[in-house]
Copies of this chain bind each other. A is one copy, B any other.
Amino acid sequence: MIHVGVLGATGAVGQRFVQLLANHPWFTLSTLTASDRSAGKSYGSVVNWRLDSPFPESVKDLVVSPTTVDAVKDCDIVFSALPADIATTLESDIADAGVGVFSNASSHRMAADVPLMIAEVNPEHAALIDVQKKNHNRDGFIVTNPNCSTIMLATALAPLMKFPFTTINVATMQAISGAGFDGVPAFGIYDNVIPYIGSEEEKMSREANKILGTFDGTQIAGAPFTVSASCNRVPVIDGHTLNVWIDVAATPDEVIEAFRTWQPPFAGLPTQPEKTILYLPDENRPQPRLDRNRGNGMTVSVGRVRDGIRFVAMGHNTIRGAAGASVLNAELLHTKKYF
């Protein structure tokens, strides 16, 4: 059995990790870390479970550890839901201690020797781990998953990479949960749109190029397109919706066909949905409330492909856009014998 830990297990993404790992067929949840004041107490007694799925009783009595290298050094891998400021040093130290780190934090995403992975989209980037281990002379490693909005965009672009394009404009309508449980005060977002999310637009631009870039065995050459994003917070609980414009050399029918027929290079991993990309033909879909839970929250739904080329993409931001993407990365790397 593979022993896994979750760093920052009480927050919005941390609870999603726990939810996805509590009954995982391959991974055994053995360590949950949180702030020092929670350390030493049972997870059930310190967590304020705020997901609408029942609290997983199996982890109720797990004693919470402090968020340190020591706490996780006996894990085979850890999943990180830490804020970037804490993640930067700690994740490196954990990797240096020989543990594999699957991180949802932004700290190391753009590091030249750290894979920024969406399992079905750029699995070949996993080999960057070997470069990273050599560079840092470490037995462990860090693998990151992209920003929650970027995942929806980059996944939807994967089937279109066979067509030439150079420019993407994307407007996002992002859910409240993307800022964490307490990140968005109700007074600010209710009956409102906030047309700004700090550093989100920059993340979408740079991360999409890396994810869809080409790996030559040594380094990644960024994909030859530019992303111009406008990010908005809207009164939606879960599910990020994107309006995309792309100057792709294809007809709407060709784009739809590409969405319909694209397949990832592997199948059957525990957290992998039946369809990574689902094309919805109805003129008013996808919609976050009706479509965010498709594929257990791991499917990116696309629709409204029309001249422009314009289309709409939507996915669950804390599952496909965060914890679920990270767990799937770990499942893939386990099949590749990285741990």
Chain A interface residues (CB < 8 Å from chain B) = 12, 50, 52-54, 169, 171, 173, 176-177, 180-196, 228, 230, 232, 234-237, 239, 241, 243, 245, 283-290, 292-294, 303-304, 307-308, 310, 312, 314
- With A185-B182, A186-B184 already in contact, the answer to whether A194 and B312 are too (CB < 8 A) is no
- With A173-B234, A185-B186, A234-B193 already in contact, the answer to whether A52 and B290 are too (CB < 8 A) is yes
Assembly CA distance A295 to B204 (angstroms)? 35
A163 to chain B, nearest CB (A): 18
**Can you report 7 A-B residue pairs in the complex whose CB atoms are below 8 A from each other?**
A52-B290, A169-B169, A173-B173, A176-B187, A182-B187, A195-B287, A196-B304
Quick one: copies of this chain in the complex? Answer: 4
Task: Specify which of A173, A186, A304 lies most central, judged by the most chain B CB atoms within 10 Å of its CB.
Answer: A186
Are A187 and B243 closer than 8 Å at their CB atoms?
Answer: no
CB contacts (< 8 Å) of A194 on chain B: these are: 284, 287
CB contacts (< 8 Å) of A287 on chain B: these are: 192-195
Nearest chain B residue, comparing its CB with the CB of A283: B196
CB contacts (< 8 Å) of A169 on chain B: these are: 169, 245, 308
Nearest chain B residue, comparing its CB with the CB of A240: B193
CB contacts (< 8 Å) of A173 on chain B: these are: 173, 193, 232, 234
Assembly CA distance A237 to B193 (angstroms)? 11
Nearest chain B residue, comparing its CB with the CB of A285: B195
